[in-house]
Amino acid sequence: MDIEHARTFLAVVAAGNFVGAAERLHVTQSTVSSRIQSLEGQLGVRLFTRGRGGAELTAAGRRFLRHAKALVRTLEQARHEVSLPSGFSGSLTLSGRIALWEDFLPLWADWMRREVPDVSLRLEIGFEEGIMQGLVQGTIDIGVMYTPESRPGLAVERLFDESLVLVSSDPARPWPDPNYIHVDWGAEFHTQFGSRFPDLDTSARVVNIGWLGLQLIQAYGGSGYFPERMVRAAIEQGRLWRMDERPLIRLPAYMVYPQDRSDPAFIRAIEKLREMGAEERAR
């Protein structure tokens, strides 16, 4: 079986349709269709039901999913392990939202290096769509994000609720603020923000990364919503001010991982994230 056929199958599962899979794989939609048809011919079953809502897995497709993931993961692990320096027995890839790399995921990475030193870590910053695609295709082992999608074969666990606070470069800055910077924290954030400020126009300045919004505010002034962990030091140092009259926004942080993984290093990695999530919830 051509490994690209398995990759294409997983891309359709991740995107939910053939068009999205083609975009992610940088090929034409007809190429995706041809690969899936070829794969279905080799297996002798229909893998997807096509409809207006996209492409849904058939019962046979759901059964094939774990095998396709195993095929791709085996190849990726072989590539990693062949290139591993001496002293390492395996590798693990974790991808997470950039804000979660502030005082949370670095602690996990440090623990892994101390407690599981024979595992090589690949650490990435990503967005939900790309992380989910990597998880489905087997190129990412663990994803940590705010708004995951439900996908067959993947477990989704809530780690903790992120507290987003409105901060300003000037304690006297008015609200609504004409220099407000709207950070795209995902669908859940947009829903909560819209319910609190239904009449506020957020189109003037929108950024997709919290770090970028924070740099703009600190350099040129303004306000914005950020996880409390990201701005705690700046508030304590008097470089930013919290606008306490503004309501908090709670954004759940999740970890997502394949349900069929059971190797010891992977289990320890998951358990440590689960433990750290419980500690965050207790604060």
Q: What are phi and psi of 257, to 5 degrees?
A: -155, 160
**Residue 162 has what pLDDT?**
93
**Residue 67 has what pLDDT?**
87
> Is the pLDDT score of 84 beyond 80?
no
d(CA 231, CA 239): 9
Mean pLDDT of the region 243-262: 90
Could you report the per-residue pLDDT of 20-73, keeping only the tens digit for each?
999 888 899 999 999 999 999 999 999 999 877 789 999 999 999 888 888 887
Q: Which residues pair with 255 in a beta bridge?
A: 144, 157
Confidence label for 79 from pLDDT (cuts 50, 70 and 90) = low
> Is the pLDDT score of 83 beyond 80?
no
**Residue 81 has what pLDDT?**
63
> Is the pLDDT score of 86 beyond 70?
no
Could you report the per-residue pLDDT of 126-166, keeping only the tens digit for each?
999 899 988 988 889 999 999 998 888 899 999 999 999 99
> Is the pLDDT score of 107 beyond 90?
yes
> Is the pLDDT score of 1 beyond 70?
no
CB count in 10 Å sphere of residue 127: 17
**245 token code pair:** 């009259």
Handedness of CA 41, 47, 49, 54 (dihedral sign): negative
Our CA dihedral for 17, 19, 20, 22, rounded to 10 degrees, sits at 120
Domains and CATH numbers, the chain: 3-71 (1.10.10.10), 79-157+253-282 (3.40.190.10), 161-251 (3.40.190.10)
Could you report the per-residue pLDDT of 215-230, keeping only the tens digit for each?
999 999 999 999 998 9
Could you report the per-residue pLDDT of 172-205, keeping only the tens digit for each?
999 999 999 999 998 889 999 999 999 999 989 9
**278 token code pair:** 């419980």
CB count in 10 Å sphere of residue 201: 10
Task: Tell me the longest C-alpha to C-alpha distance in the chain.
Answer: 69
In which element (H, E) is residue 155 found?
strand 154-168
Q: Which of 67, 2, 71, 62 is nearest to 37 (CA)?
A: 2
